[in-house]
Every structure is written in structure tokens, then in C-alpha cells.
Amino acid sequence: MSLAAAAVPARRKGDKGIDGSADARLGLMLAAPIVIAMLSLVLFPVASTLWDSLHRVNPMMAGQPFIGLQHYRDLLVDPVVNESWRNTVVYVVICVVLETAGGIAAALLINQAGRWRRYVLAIVILPWALPGVVNAVVWGWIYNPAFGLLNGLLVAAGLDFEKFVWFNDRTIALFAVSLVHVWRMLPLTAVIVLAALQSIPSDLYEAGRIDGATRRRMFFYITLPLIRGGIAVAMTQSTVAAFNFFDEAWILTGSARGTRPILVQVYLEAFQNLHFSYGMALSVLVMIASLTVSLVYVLRVQRVTRLD
Amino acid sequence: MELRLSQRILTGIGLLLLILWSIGPIYWAIATSFTPTPDLMSQPIHFFPEHLTLNHYQRLAGFGTVASNDVTVAAQFRNALVNSVITALAATIVSIFLASLGGYAFARLEFPGRQTIFFIVIATIAIPGYTVLIPLYRLMVSLKLLDTYLGVTLIYLSAFLPLALWLMRSVFQQLPLSIEEAARIDGAGRMTILFRIVMPLAAPGLVAASIITFLGAWGQYMVPLIFSPTKTKPLTVLIPEFSTKNFVDYGLINAAGTIAMIVPILIVIFLNRYLVSGLTAGSVK
């Protein structure tokens, strides 16, 4: 034993030069495919999007003249685009609030489920694992005015919802569409918060009890501060996901302007109107907005977790 | 902690509501898929099917056909199912292969630019897919890779590789260094160590990353909507097409949806432990 222990540092020291450069070569070799894939499939396209957004690229029109920031100027005053931005902000707010509140509540409940915890957790995760499009199609059927489950339940409960159309009123439609997204994304928040809950040492609660703290006080002074980091991570996920909202909105309400999120607007501009570079300019703005929001969160999360 | 009876009842009610909220829509899809079409168009609705039928599934499978367009429906559905399986598996295998090799490099090997490259790759997670879809579309058209398995797999790779890499790196970082050091003292080379010692230890992490990548590719919609318009069209693109402007065949849609749900449901039932560990990796210190 002692011989081996003495041999280790000596050997490592002696080999360090050779080992180090061999490691570097191997490291570069293993990372190279990833670098090549990301360069050609993400970073080059992003650069090309930035470049093309300064030109007029339209498969229906000859030539690709340089037009500077014209697209960006047009986008700022485009009423349809502005309406989509507003919708996206509404989606982000509704989804983040509902997913965070619902996810924390779900995590607290699952944490109390005792020996059923594993099974409840599996059931709660299910919606997240399903394809968003399939969820949207199923919920579209649930929202069906004449034969849908939702109106059926409300009528059975004695409420006047016979043939109520959920997508006529804009505010209700925004909520109805958001709810489908919340149904899919809430499990992620619940799982992250649950993991944070389970990492709290139980002797903290013991100590709290000995000191005569009530459950409510223990929640606010022990639980909440210790799951703050987890909540922040979950909120980042919710925000980015709601920003990239597409599937459910496109399936449930198609191109309807009142519920059209910004990514549906990009899709329509680029792939239906074939205004390639105008769509690209808009997608650049979406990217900047999304990166900014993520960055703000990441910085905040870092501060919060450092406080922990 | 012991709860008072009233609190236990409240918790029980809360859990029941949570379960109903989570599986209610799934139950409704499955129930609808076994309900004859005339029953679906009757009021008041029945919360439990009065009659059961396999008709919708028969039409998807293509036997016992009645209407003339059922032959096309069955053929389309079979193709889409095959396409979904092929593209999701291909995306998973390629992503996880590259991510596990790269993850080891970023976790254990010193090489120039290690931190910077890793940060840039991870930062691309925050780039919305649509920012790159238009140039990728033109790239795929010029390479003649539109509507091919290779083209779709490459795009999935660019979308799922960063997250898989992040997961795999954190898996390798959590493995004890001492085992690798012991193997090196015995004279094992890096690649031997990676494949003989590290990979088996990292197996649960590999499973977690594979599941998350697979589910992501299985449920993708906007990528195949653009890049897989006909020959390689997956289930997610086909299913919404079953509804036309005049008539929505809800029985057929829900049967197809139920089939698309089976794989994720099986994964959650049998591999939930890995799934949860993958979802929470990195979110808790």
C-alpha cells in the first residue's frame, strides 16, 4: 500500500508533460464532432440569419439587394407583429405564474404522499412526456363546444356552458391555449421543486419543531428559502418554453391573430408568405429577447444560489 | 412529520385533484378512441363510453376497411409511425454517442478552449429554433437533404446535442476520479478507461440522457413540419392533418394520438427513475 501510494505522485509527475498533450489531443478529437455540428448547424445559420436580415431575400423576387435595417424599422411599426409580441408576453406571464404556483403546490403534495410518492410522481410527469401536438389535438376535442369534455363537466355541474365556444373571446382564448401549455410544462417545475424539497435535511424541521415553530412558520422560514434556487431554475425553464410557444397555439387556433404567438408569426412570414429575410429579421429579435430573458434569469439564479 | 387528520384529508383531496388533472385528458383521449363515432356526436356526452369499438384502430391498421379513403389513411399512418420511430431513434443514437464522448472530454480532459467551447454550445439552448430554421431550410434544399432521414437527424442533432452534452458532462463529473486514477496506474489507456470503466458506471446517466433526447425527438412538431413534408412525415405532423375544414374525425384522431402516446407512457412507467434524475440534473447543486 505505502509503496503504491508513494509511486502515484512520482509517476504522475514524470508523465505529466506527455500525458497532458496526449489528453489535449484526445480531448480535441472527442469534442471536434460537436464543434463541427454546432458550427455548421447552429452558429453558421445564426450568422447567416443576421446577414440575410439586412437583405431582401424572397424566393418570389429576383436578386437579394442590401437594404440595411429596413426590415427592423418595418417590424417595429408592423401592427400584426406588435400584436403577436403582446400575445407572447401574455402567454409568458400566464404560463410562468400558473406553472410556478401549480408546480410548487404539486411538489409539496407529492412530497406528502408517503409510500405512494413514486406512483403519484410518475402520473404527474406523464403530460410532459407526451408530444405537445397530440396534447393540443386532445385538448381541442376537450374544448369542443358541442361534444367536449369541459362543457360536459360544467353542464353536469349545473352551469350554463352548453355549446360555449372557448375560442371566441380573445382573453378566454389566450387562457384556454395557455392552459394546454401549462398542462404539459407544469410537471417540469414540480419535478425540479420536488428535488429541491427532498434535498432539505430533515433535522432542520426537527429543530424547528423543538423550538415550537408552527408548520406555517417552518414553511416560510425553512422550506421556502431552501427551495428558492430550484424555483428560479424552474422559472427559467418556464419562461424560455413559453417564449418558444408554437405547437399548441398553431394546432388550437392556427393563424388567428388574437392568439398568435411571435413564433407562429415568424413561421407565417417565412414559410407561408415566403418573406424569408423579413421572417429572419423577426427571428433575430426573438432570439435577442429570449437570450436577454435567459441571461437575466441566469444571473439572478447565480445570485440566489450563492446566497444559499 | 405527523399530520393532523384534517390536514391528511386535505392532502388526500389535493393529491386526487392533481392525479385527475394529470390523467383526465389522457383518459379522455383513450376513451374517445374506443367510442363509435355516432356516440361521440350525441348530447349529453357520456363520461364513460356506452359502447366500445375497435373501428378507429382498425381503420388506422388498414383492415376491415369500409370507406375508400381508409386505405390511404392506413398507409399514411403506417409510414408516419415508421418515420417517427426511425427519426427519433437516429437522433437519440447520434446525439448520445457524440454527447457521451464529448461529455467525457469536457469533464476530464484538459484541452485548449475547453471552457469557452462548452459555454458556447450550452448557450445555444437559449436560441429559439426558428432563428436557424430558415437558413437551415435553404441549406437542406441546396444539399438535397430536405425530406430525408439524414437531414432531419442532423437538425435534431443540433437541437438536442447541447442538453445531452450538459447532462453527460455532469454525469461524468459526479463519478469518483479515484477509479479512473487506479486504472491509469495499472496502465490502462484513456480510451480503455472510457469504454471499459467509465461508460458502464455512467450507464444510468446515459439512459436518462437517451430518454430525454428520444422524447424530445418523438414529440417534435415544428422541425418536421418544415423539413419532413411528405416522405419522412412523422406522427406529430400527420395527426393534425386528420382534421379537415368540414369534418374532424375525432375518433380517428384520438386513436392515432393514443398510439403516439403509448411509447412515452411506457417510458414513464418503466424508466421514470432515470427520467426524473435527468430532468433534475444540474438544477439542484
Peptide bond into A65 cis (omega under 30): no
* Per-residue confidence (pLDDT) for residue A141, from 0 to 100: 92
What band does A95 get if pLDDT is binned at 50, 70 and 90?
very high
Residue identified by cell 446577414 is A51
Cβ atoms of residues A294 and A92 within 8 Å:
no
Cα B196 to chain center, whole Å? Answer: 29
| pLDDT score recorded for residue A10 | 41
* pLDDT score of B283: 56
The domain made up of A70-307 is a member of CATH 1.10.3720.10: yes
Q: Is the pLDDT of residue B80 over 90?
A: yes
CA pair distance B220, B214, nearest whole angstrom = 10
Closest CA relative to residue B92, chosen from B265, B281, B283, B263: B263
**pLDDT tier for residue A8 given thresholds of 50, 70 and 90:** very low
Instruction: Dump the DSSP string for chain B.
Output: ----HHHHHHHHHHHHHHHHHHHHHHHHHHHHHTS-HHHHT-SSPPSS-SS---HHHHHHHT-S--STTHHHHHHHHHHHHHHHHHHHHHHHHHHHHHHHHHHHHHHH---TTHHHHHHHHHHGGGS-THHHHHHHHHHHHHTT-TTSHHHHHHHHHHHHHHHHHHHHHHHHHHS-HHHHHHHHHTT--HHHIIIIIIHHHTHHHHHHHHHHHHHHHHT--HHHHHH-SSTT--HHHHHHHTB-SS-B-HHHHHHHHHHHHHHHHHHHHHHHHHHHHHHHTTT--
Q: In sequence order, which residues have a C-beta less than 8 Å from that of residue A194 and are 6 or more positions away? A: A107, A110, A111, A121
Q: Does B105 touch chain A (CB under 8 A)?
A: yes
pLDDT of residue A7: 40
Domain definitions of chain A by residue range: 1-52, 70-307
Percent of chain B surpassing pLDDT 90 = 46
The pLDDT, as a whole number, for residue B185 is 87
pLDDT of residue B97: 95
Give chain A's mean pLDDT.
85
Q: What mean pLDDT do residues A147-163 have?
A: 88
Lowest-pLDDT choice from A15-24, A171-180, B225-234, B269-278: A15-24
Residue A168: pLDDT above 50?
Answer: yes
| Phi-psi label, residue B189: left if phi above 0, alpha if psi -120 to 50, beta otherwise | beta
The position carrying cell 501510494 is A5
Q: Which of A112-116, A132-136, B7-11, B63-67 has the lowest mean pLDDT?
A: B63-67
pLDDT in tens, B210-260: 999 999 999 999 899 999 988 999 999 999 888 766 677 888 999 999 999
CB A186 within 8 A of CB A127: yes
Q: In whole angstroms, what is the distance from residue B81 CA to residue B233 CA? A: 9
pLDDT of B282 over the 70 cut: no
Residue B259 sits at the chain A interface (C-beta within 8 Å): no
Question: What pLDDT is stored for residue A14 in this prediction?
Answer: 39
Query: Cα A56 to chain center, whole Å?
Result: 32
Mean pLDDT of chain B, nearest integer: 88
The whole-angstrom distance between A213's CA and the closest CA on chain B is 13
Cβ pair A306, A226 in contact under 8 A? no
At residue A304 the predicted structure's pLDDT band, cuts being 50, 70 and 90, is low
User: How much is the average pLDDT of A75-91?
Assistant: 92
Sequence-ordered list of residues with C-beta below 8 angstroms from that of B223, at least 6 positions apart, any chain: B129, B133, B152, B155, B156, B159
Radius of gyration, alpha carbons of chain A: 26
Chain B touched by A242 (CB under 8 Å)? no
* Contact between residue B209 and residue B164 where contact means Cβ atoms under 8 Å apart: yes
A18 touches chain B (CB under 8 A): no
Instruction: Give the C-alpha separation, B203 to B166, whole Å.
Output: 15
Share of chain A above pLDDT 90, in %: 36
Residue A163's SS3 state is: coil
- The average pLDDT across B172-191 equals 86
Residues A283/A243, Cβ–Cβ less than 8 Å: no
- What confidence category does residue B66 fall into, taking pLDDT thresholds of 50, 70 and 90? low
Chosen for mutation from B111, B117, B227, B239 (greatest number of chain A CBs closer than 10 Å) is B111
* CB atoms B284 and A192 under 8 Å: yes
Which cell goes with B38? Answer: 355516432
What's the average model confidence in pLDDT over A22-36?
89
Over the stretch A214-250, which tens digit does the pLDDT of each residue have?
A: 888 888 888 888 888 888 888 888 888 898 889 999 9
Dihedral angle over CA of A115, A119, A120, A125, nearest 10: 140
pLDDT at A5 over 70: no
Question: Which residues of B are less than 8 Å from A38 in CB distance?
Answer: 120-121, 124, 158, 161-162
Structure confidence at residue B33 (pLDDT): 93
For residues A188-192, give the mean pLDDT.
Answer: 93
Q: Which of A266-270, A272-276, B3-7 is predicted least confidently?
A: B3-7
Which of A121, A246, A308 comes nearest B276 by C-beta?
A: A121
Q: Which residues on B lie below 8 Å from A243 (Cβ)?
A: 128
* Residues whose CB is less than 8 angstroms from the CB of residue A110 and which lie 6 or more positions away in sequence, other chains included: A117, A120, A121, A124, A190, A194, B15, B18
- CA A164, CA A168: separation in Å to the nearest integer? 9
Question: Tens of pLDDT along B184-208?
Answer: 888 888 888 888 888 999 999 999 9
**Considering only CB atoms, which chain A residues are within 8 Å of B254?**
137-138, 141
CA distance A243 to A85: 10
Candidate from B24, B131, B236 with C-beta closest to A133: B236
> What is the value of ipTM here, to two decimals?
0.90
Q: Give me the pLDDT at residue B91, please.
A: 95
Q: Which position has the higher pLDDT, A52 or B150?
A: B150
Residue B127, phi then psi, degrees to nearest 5: -80, 120
Range with the lowest mean pLDDT among A100-109, B37-46, B65-74?
B65-74
pLDDT at A188 over 80: yes
Of A101-115, B88-102, B119-133, B216-230, the one with minimum mean pLDDT is: B119-133
Residue of higher predicted confidence among B238 and A161: B238
pLDDT at B86 over 70: yes
pLDDT value at residue A302: 64
Confidence band, pLDDT 50/70/90 cuts, at residue B46: confident
Complete DSSP assignment for B69-112: THHHHHHHHHHHHHHHHHHHHHHHHHHHHHHHHHHHHHHH---T
Count other Cβ atoms within 10 Å, centred on residue A254.
12
Q: Which domains does chain B have, with CATH numbers?
A: 70-280 (1.10.3720.10)
The top-scoring range by mean pLDDT among A43-52, A130-139, B68-77 is A130-139
Task: Give the mean pLDDT of B37-41.
Answer: 84
User: What pTM value is reported for the model?
Assistant: 0.89
Cβ-in-10-Å burial (0-12, 13-18, 19+) of B46 comes to middle
In angstroms, the separation between the Cα of residue A287 and the nearest Cα of chain B is: 6
Quote the CA–CA distance of A163 and A155 in Å, as a whole number: 10
